[in-house]
Structure 1
Amino acid sequence: MTIKKKPARPTSYVALDETSRALMDSSMESAFVMDVSGYVLAANKAAASLFDLKSNDTLQQYNIYDLLPQDAADSRRAKIAEAIRDVRAVRFEEEIDGRSLVHSIVPVANPWGEVARLAVHTLDLTKLRRTDEDLRREQQRQIFFMESLPGIVYHLYPDNTIRYANRYFRRYFGSPRDKTCREALNCSDLSCEACPPMESMKTDRALEWDWTDAQGRTFHLQCSPMTDSAGERMIMVLGIDITARQKAEDALKQARDKLEERVRQRTEELEQANLKLTNKSVRLVNAMKKADEATRAKSSFLANMSHEIRTPLNAVLGMAELAMSVTDPDRKNHYLGRIMDAGNSLLAIINDILDFSKIEAHKLALEAIDFDIRRTMEATLDLYMLPAGKKGLDLTFSVDDDVPQVLMGDPSRLGQILINLVSNAIKFTETGGVDVRVSLVEGPEDVVPEAPVKLLFSVSDTGVGIAEDKQKDVFESFLQADDSITRKHGGTGLGLTICTLLVELMGGEIGLESEEGKGSTFRFSARLKVGDADKVEAEMVRFASRNIPDMPRLKVLLADDNALNRELATTLLTEQGHEVLDVTNGVKALDALKERHFDMVLMDVQMPVMDGISATRAIRDPNSGVLDPDIPIIALTAHALKGDRERFLEAGMNDYISKPITMRGFYDTIARAAAGAPPAPSTGASAKPAQTGGSTLFDRQSALDMLGGREALLRRMDEIFIRDVPEDLKQLTESLETHDWDTARRLAHSIKGAARTVGALRTGAIAEQLEYLCKQKDVSTAGKELKILECETEYALKYVTKELGDKPETP
């Protein structure tokens, strides 16, 4: 501040005691006392410095209005007048000559309430605000620097979230908002705990590593632990795209390999390079061995997978051949039942193959179901009566009398073990037979439900046997890629690998006794529990009954984007006297539930605009506005794989009905939900309906059976199939051309369900495969699969049209 003039001496003064003077002088900020006219009566050195007085000059006896610019003097005079008038402290900010000042004016009144003096304290925030501004500029420079870097930069926090990512990152991977690190980077690593950034955060040290993303780009990443502006620990990751460099290195390596090959050829003529040539030859031999082992492992896997699928498929074809050749209804039904069992076994094997990583990681869970051990053995071995008979072999089984009739365990997995062992025994046996025996190893004195038992299963054959030096490799052949048995006899590696795992899960052991040329005996133990015979009997009675369960008249909201499914579900409901309102997506379902009261919701999982899971979560929200957030919700879905049931229930659904819809399961599920009963327990693969492989074109009888034998209803499904599927296929083609994967996946899902409802099984299987490819965003393979689907759909449409024209309309 600039001093305008030397003021006259004030007419009054103030005397401060030593304590007050010391307090004023000790203040680092400006402080002075003035009278009501503006004359300074007492001041500290900081006040004199604030007004730019000389070091040997004092502010005392100056008039502050003379020391201020005119605008500031007028503003200060008004604030002082306000403090005198209201006899209260006044605080305000002002900018003077580029300084940011905060003033506090406190009036000092006498006992009569008159203000004679004022104490003024001034805080200079200029440096502090400049520091804040510099800090903001520095942060902006850092952000600009990170945004302009030709590489990815992101900040990773302990909760696996990315809270900042630069422009280069967002251009390649999109915005990381509301995503975990795994989701944002589309990472395929199995464990986040072993991720280098997490290791860097734990050890508080910098790390470097190379990482390849899902598109094949390779980045050299550096991660450094640090603390953000809020004091929270995080990891800053910087990455440079080294894909081009790696390609150049690969090209250089190829050129180097070619040069080494030329040198190797020349070394035959150069005796002085013989040692170098030898070393390179050894490396080449090792590389060739590794390549051969990799090729052999691939061939072994394909052969073994084919073996596992062919086993139940042969039973299906054989039993179907027998069913077609007989006219006796009882025998035909018996064969058809065995076809159903074999189909379920085939489905279980396919599920194991598709999810083999889960099996290898020992994450497969066994079911706990009450089952009749003798009936299970009979049903399992009936599948192989025909193949054994064709080879002239005797196939027998026996269960010791002391083995409990009903056990608790996983009958489908137990059957899977026996299927593999019996199939192999028949394959390797040319004369004689195969015998299966079940005996009790450990058991309670009193047979009571849930009492632990240990059983021993043995499968003996009179086949070629296995050499002693190969017996150990039989169980490890898949892991070692040793296909010597496969080359000679047809291969059992994958089947025995799965058997070994399943036996371990059952708390048992598997072993082999064999003598070459005299046959083999495979034995395995299993720890189970005694089952409840009443539950097994009740289950048999329930499935034998065809009666529709009793339930009250319901108001049902049906949400499904597929017209065929809506027509079928509506027909089944209205015929039982229920009132139905159908909508095509989750948003419309929410609107309907806000306006009307319903007793139940049937919710398709995959729908446009809003899917069924999102709609269910919205309905369960108490703030959603629906009239009844606790209304029973049943999922309608073609997803029936492991884990889907738990995912639907976790989203808030009460139960689910798998597509294609069957009358019995449809009515049972609705009755169960209407009564407030919990969902039926998952029973694994054996409880699922049999699904036919891609080699079967049509199964109209199964389609009719699912509709309770009602031909008129099947005709209506045919009409909707012919009407809607061509348009769905057209939209599917357009979606694939524009890479709209979500829409394409939903349309493939819709075609799959519609095709299976009318019995077009192979069309449904191909649509399911295309749905999976859309999920994986596999452009080239999806395009090829679409061509196959177009041909199959055209053939299915012709077939259904002919079926519709050949059969007279049934009332």
Structure 2
Amino acid sequence: MKKIPAKPTSYVSLDETSRALLDSAVESAYVMDVSGYVLAANDMAAKQFDLEKGRDLEQCNIYDLLPPETAEIRREKVQEAIDSVKKVNFEEEVLGKSLFHSIVPVSNPWGEVGRLTISTLDKTELRRTDEGLRREQQRQIFFMESLPGIVYHLYPDKSIRYANRYFRKYLGSPKGKICAEALHCCEDACDGCPPMEAMETDRAVEWDWTDNKGRTFHLQCSPMTDSAGERMIMVLGIDITARKRAEDELKRAHDKLEDRVRQRTKELEKANTELTQKSMRLVSAMKKADSATRAKSAFLANMSHEIRTPLNAVLGMAELSLLTEEADKKNHYLKRVKEAGHTLLSVINDILDFSKIEARKLTLETIDFDLRSVLEAALDIHSMTVMEKGLDLSYKVEPNVPEVLQGDPSRLKQVLINLLSNAVKFTEKGGVDVSVALLSSEEMANPGDRVVLEFSVTDTGIGIPEDKQEDVFKSFLQADDSITRKHGGTGLGLAICTLLVELMDGRLHLSSVEGEGSTFSFTATLAVGDASKLQAEERARRVDQSITMPKLKVLLADDNELNRQLASTLLEEQGHQCVKVENGALALEALKTEHFDVVLMDVQMPVMDGVSATRAIRTPNSGVLSPDIPIVALTAHALMGDRERFLEAGMTDYIAKPIKIDEFYSTLARVVLGREVKQKKRAVAAKKEVASETFDRQTALDMLGGRKDLLTRMDEIFIRDVPGELEDLRNNINDMHWEDAQRMAHSIKGSSRTVGASRCGAVAEQMEFFCRQRDGVSASKELKTLESEVESALTFIRTDTQ
């Protein structure tokens, strides 16, 4: 049984000076007897045991205040100090704190220990600081190890005591070598070495350095002190070899550009004179632009309302249709969803039409059409609204107006629909009349002859105030743009009509009296159409609709799940088989393993877009089973030139989103059943002919302005640089340095096309794509083909230049 020590019978008596010294000590300090009772203690010692003052700790047994395991260790250390009559130092962890203790025994003249002084230093924060410094050093080392450039520490004795992974991989280990040996320097003397200069002058230095392998690095030298307090230089180097090569190419192109610069300088001098004359007009234009910006802000606020209103109906009615089980209600809700969707599409179309016309990216068709059919279609759209409001709606065409005209019927109908929509919207009683008259001075009945027609839309509505009549034709302005205006709409209708009429070589006019009504009239220059040709086209359309489609196997590439569901449903309802993928890369792989009748290709997709995928499919070396398979673009791109861009890339036809079911089926039938077969075959044959040309020196010569001397210089650069770039490409692929590999493939592509090595350039382009996607398997396969093509190109150029 453990013997419990008795409480002390005496305590340490301290004078004021001793007590002040004890209390002011930074460390915890107290005096105890051999039994563990505290005889005197400072405040720091009391806080160590969660007490307020040192006097609170006095008369306490120190072992009672400690956890059992810690108390046992403390007894052993105290006993060791008593037995040895020597100071004992030790560390321990107590309640998450790191403590350093110093036990000093106090003996009497006979050598007996009666008391002990214990001082304690809390090293917790110090250890945390040391750990933080260690971690920071580790982060710095990790950062330097992962840098895509060389990093090394150079000391005054010319030794390199640290070099990062990039340095070691490229130059080897610097251990035991002076800097000149480790860096494989070309220079024999080190007197002018910039790092040594940086060390001597204690300032940062930058310079370009080339090693004995011909690789150039841009180095930055920064003086600093290492963790041991020794001065050294940290050098950071970035490989700029490719940039240097590019600079050489630019210098070679400089001669050709000088003449063009001189010529351009003269043109700029002339243009500068003209710009000076226009400066005053620009100031006025800036004021108008500022006014237009304010108008656009008001327009955007209104547009937000116009878009959200039908969108709210779409979402709300769709939710109601999902909640009800009654077929009649569900059909009613779905009809309202469709109506709201068409309204939303109309708003979006207004915005897009206005943007396309303003950007001059909208052109008019020139086809034969029946004028009266166009008028009746425009009036039919408003028939329901007219009946609900009890209005009269009629049209009149003068007898001398030709029945068949030549122009763009859809845009003409769009203008009429917009004008009729405004007339019906702002008319509560009375009616709306449409009239068409011939303004040409003489009758021209022959097909192709130009005629000028005047179209008028007259209503008995509210009219437009005289001070607002000019504003209704301006972009983003309305006669009433207040937030509480009675009538909805985007406010773009008349602006679009104005621009469309201008494309028809006409003008839009307004005549209005407030409270009595308005008349919008416009002129349009059209041509007399061919009635027999129009009838023949109608018969051809009826024949096309009677043709039965065969069952097809269709590859559908689209990244949007809803779009894939819609298109696949339309196909499967007609009995076609549909295979769905999410991007162009997957479509390319599918065409390498399966036969399909047609491909429906979305243009904008992740990983590989539709245009890139089409170009890859059309390449004879792509590996697909049928490079000439029909490819139909599915896209929301609808600006001028988009269709031509897709067809130029190798696509067969084009379907715009949102998909219209009739157009979807008719386009698929036209592509599959071979309409315009001769034209398509000629296009495919031309593409194959171009794709099969391994070398096109004439095109390369034309690109260089017909200068054979310049082509010879490009050949020399190709022979000199491309083998090295191919070697760098191979190494970067093996090391999975994809950005560098992509840069090398891009450089080879450009060099190949410059000298006319068409097939080599095409293979390099595919290699560039694989490197961008970090596809190591495909890149390794394509590398073998590229090596063969580069070798063929080198052989051809060397032979051709002899």
Greater RCO (CA < 8 Å, at least 6 residues apart) = 1
**TM-score normalised by L of structure 1:** 0.40
